[in-house]
Amino acid sequence: MAEITDSSIPGIQRRTVAVLSGAQLLGGLGGGAALSIGSLLAVDLSGSEAWAGSLTTVLTLAAALAALPMAALAAARGRRISLTLCLLIALAGAVLIIVAASTRLFPLLLLGGVGLGFGTTANLQSRFAATDLALPRHRGRDLSIVVWATTIGAVAGPNLIKPGAQLGAIFGLPEMAGPFLFSALAMGAAILLLSFGLRPDPLRIAQSRWAEEGLAAPGSTASGGRSLSGGMAAIWRSPRALMALLTVIGSHVVMVSVMSMTPLHLQQIDEHAAMGHHSTDVLAFIGFSISLHIAGMFALSPLFGWLSDRLGRVPMMVIGQCMLLVSAGIAGWGQHDAGLVTTGLVLLGLGWSASIIAAATLLSESVPPEQRVMVQGVSDTLMGFTAAAGSILAGAVLASWGYGGLNLSIAVLSVAVLLGLLLLHRVTRRAPAA
């Protein structure tokens, strides 16, 4: 890293953010099909609505299990190696889902979901990679730009369901297998972009600079603390990091629980309107609704990143939780109206975005540099495990209490997160920053 000078860092950071943003765009395009029709495909292949959340669950669990190993790989070899490996596995997962839909093998569908979960891991790591070389006053902005880049691909992805079905028909594939052709192509393009564009590696530069400035011992980031317990210990020592982790976990559980069950609920609304089971029109409507939700998740992220830099991380986390509560009220009260459900979905995405951007930035800046990468991995791991549990419980709640009961449940969880934030904020006012 001897050739890297202080004057060259801003240019490297701009290039890094641009490359990560391009990869996020493609990754969002690749994951759109799973978000939109994953629950429908799971019900179709399994023959039971009880398995509606299974693909989302295994995808989320895989992302959680991969987070720490991939964070350790990033710490040892850099972001480029870790991100490209994640996307290679995700590409294999998309291919397996196409085969599963064609052969009607439900276990193969779940295996493909495991592969796609690594794409989620890459998505989560990318937002942290944007902060490796960012100036403190711009951390929220740079992180949010990479998050925002997912908007185009993620919004377009669900709307490719109908063209994907038509493309799949050309190759003799089932209606719900075709969209995953686009997923595979997008993952492949993202792999090429990261392989050639993420040079020099931002984390390797950051590690070298931390060592030069005495913020971390040489090699400590790559060799130490590669465990869940080590990362949790670092978080536990910082009330601000605890506050951030609570917000990340709670917000993601709320979002995944509702989002994973909404396509099935919308399908039931359409069936009551006699639109036809699994018709292309129904799939297109569901894809449009989910794309609006995803737009809410990512489209305003630069604004939320800027506000988190200006107003502070904690105020934005509180605003995000309040938006999640309003979302639950609208979608739950209007559960029989597809328009109100979609409105609730958009607010759900906005609340998630405000909460996650502020909390992820706070988490990164609340622990020592040599522990930062593994703490980020711990956050992604716990976020994934709790969200997987949430999606499983969401299916049971939907079956027992309906969509209104599901939204009431997540409203209670958001209130609990708000109370936890208030309690921890009182502690942080008496504690020094990390």
Report residue 303 CA to chain centroid gap. 18
- Look at residue 218 in the predicted model and tell me its pLDDT: 45
Task: Say if residues 33 and 157 touch (Cβ distance below 8 Å).
Answer: yes
- Look at residue 216 in the predicted model and tell me its pLDDT: 57
Distance CA 27, CA 19 (A): 12
- Look at residue 431 in the predicted model and tell me its pLDDT: 55
Whether residue 266 is predicted with pLDDT greater than 70 in this model: the reply is yes
Task: Say if residues 406 and 257 touch (Cβ distance below 8 Å).
Answer: yes
- Burial code (b: 16+ CB inside 10 Å, e: under 16) for 17-29 equals bebbbbbbbbbbb
pLDDT band at residue 347 under the 50/70/90 scheme: very high
The secondary structure of residue 224, as a DSSP letter, is S
Whether residue 304 is predicted with pLDDT greater than 70 in this model: the reply is yes
Distance CA 419, CA 417 (A): 5
**DSSP letter string, 154-169:** HHHTGGGHHHHHHHHH
Sort residue 368 into left (φ over 0), alpha (ψ -120 to 50) or beta: beta
Between 29-38, 102-111, 210-219, 365-374, the lowest mean confidence (pLDDT) is in: 210-219
Give the SS3 label for residue 150: helix
Environment class of 121 (CB within 10 Å of its CB; exposed 0-12, middle 13-18, buried 19+): buried
Containing domain of residue 379, as a range?
A: 7-428
Residue 433 domain flag: no
The mean per-residue pLDDT over the stretch 354-381 comes to 90
- Look at residue 283 in the predicted model and tell me its pLDDT: 67
Residue 410 domain flag: yes
Whether residue 276 is predicted with pLDDT greater than 70 in this model: the reply is no
Distance CA 105, CA 127 (A): 35
The mean per-residue pLDDT over the stretch 247-254 comes to 94
Residue 434 domain flag: no
Whether residue 127 is predicted with pLDDT greater than 80 in this model: the reply is yes
CATH code for the domain of 320:
1.20.1250.20
Residue 261 domain flag: yes
Highest mean pLDDT among 218-222, 357-361, 384-388: 357-361
Residue 420 domain flag: yes
HSE-CB for 127 with a 13 A CA cutoff: 32
Residue 2 domain flag: no
The mean per-residue pLDDT over the stretch 357-362 comes to 93
Whether residue 275 is predicted with pLDDT greater than 50 in this model: the reply is no
Whether residue 327 is predicted with pLDDT greater than 60 in this model: the reply is yes
- 405-418 pLDDT, tens digit each: 999 999 999 999 99
Residue 346 domain flag: yes
- 164-204 pLDDT, tens digit each: 777 778 888 887 788 888 888 889 999 999 999 999 999 99
Residue 340 domain flag: yes
Contacts of 274 (CB under 8 A, 6+ apart): none
pLDDT band at residue 154 under the 50/70/90 scheme: low
Angle, CA 113 vertex, CA 62 and CA 72 arms, to 5°:
25
Whether residue 307 is predicted with pLDDT greater than 50 in this model: the reply is yes
Q: What average pLDDT does the structure give for the chain? A: 84
Centre a 10 Å sphere on the Cβ of residue 430 and count the other Cβ atoms it contains.
7
Environment class of 394 (CB within 10 Å of its CB; exposed 0-12, middle 13-18, buried 19+): buried
What is the number of domains present in the chain?
A: 1
- Look at residue 433 in the predicted model and tell me its pLDDT: 47
